[in-house]
Amino acid sequence: MSKKLAIVQSNYIPWKGYFDLISMVDEFILFDDAQYTRNDWRNRNRIRAAHGLVWLTIPVQVSGRFGQRIRDAKVTDAKWATKHWKSIVTSYSRAPYFYHYRELFELLYQEAAHETMLSRINYQFTRAICEILGISTRISWSWNYQLAEGKTERLINLCQQAGASTYITGPAAKAYIDRRLFDAAGIKAAFIDYSGYPTYRQLYSAPFAHRVSVIDLILNTGPCAPKYMKGTICDL
């Protein structure tokens, strides 16, 4: 039986496309051995508010001249969780399914406030949101595997260790993946197509925003959320 694999850095309360990718594979490796990047999705994401899109950012200490791995990034202020939850309440208390999920998300933020490592926080939210969306994909860590040198070589090696015959990634990977190496290894490389997502009724009158945290989709559409996640796979 063929096995599909995706390898992506952990993100904080990611957008729906991130979970589409998770749902398409048998195993999803959180590659938090990668270098932490500032002003990226690792520690922040956006929600919709009455006055427009709002960033929710987890304060993280970055150390070392060349940065640090995502797995080593530490939170600097535990109050972030309370602030983020208050922002979500303010922005989504009028959403159709807010009270259906309120207790679940409030507990998630209360638990996250006691965690000091960014990777663990992202993992906790990702797992919980997968359960809400009915996604049962195995989620593992990159440090459970041996890591080879070279960008494409490392991906191929992880696929081989995980027993995967297909590697699925985002469209941005076309800029750096060497397709010939995948072909030589007998592994199919494909990317997810994020175009064509249907819209749903969002709060407030601003133009529709697809690239916001999946929390927006969940609180506005509830159990119907998976119907608005329709990423497709194309060959690289």
Q: Once rounded to an integer, what is the mean pLDDT over residues 6-33? A: 97
Q: Once rounded to an integer, what is the mean pLDDT over residues 207-212? A: 93
Look at 231 and 26; give whichever has higher pLDDT.
Answer: 26
Model confidence at 51: pLDDT above 70: yes
pLDDT for the residue 63 = 75
Taking alpha carbons only, the member of 55, 72, 76, 53 closest to residue 64 is 72
State the Cα angle at 223 between 222 and 224, rounded to 5°.
Answer: 90
- The CA-atom distances, in angstroms, between 100 and each of 97, 103, 104, 106, 197 are 5, 8, 9, 12, 24
pLDDT for the residue 66 = 61
pLDDT for the residue 169 = 93
Write down the pTM of the prediction: 0.94
Model confidence at 88: pLDDT above 90: yes
pLDDT for the residue 168 = 95
Question: Which tens digit of pLDDT belongs to each residue from 148-205?
Answer: 988 899 999 999 999 999 999 988 888 788 889 999 999 999 999 898 899 999 999 7
Provide long-range contacts, Cβ within 8 A and 24+ apart, for 205-213: 206/48, 206/52, 206/53, 209/46, 209/48, 209/53, 210/15, 210/16, 211/15, 211/17, 211/46, 212/15, 212/45, 212/46, 212/47, 212/48, 212/53, 213/13, 213/14, 213/15, 213/45, 213/46, 213/47, 213/56
Model confidence at 67: pLDDT above 80: no
pLDDT for the residue 235 = 53
pLDDT for the residue 236 = 47
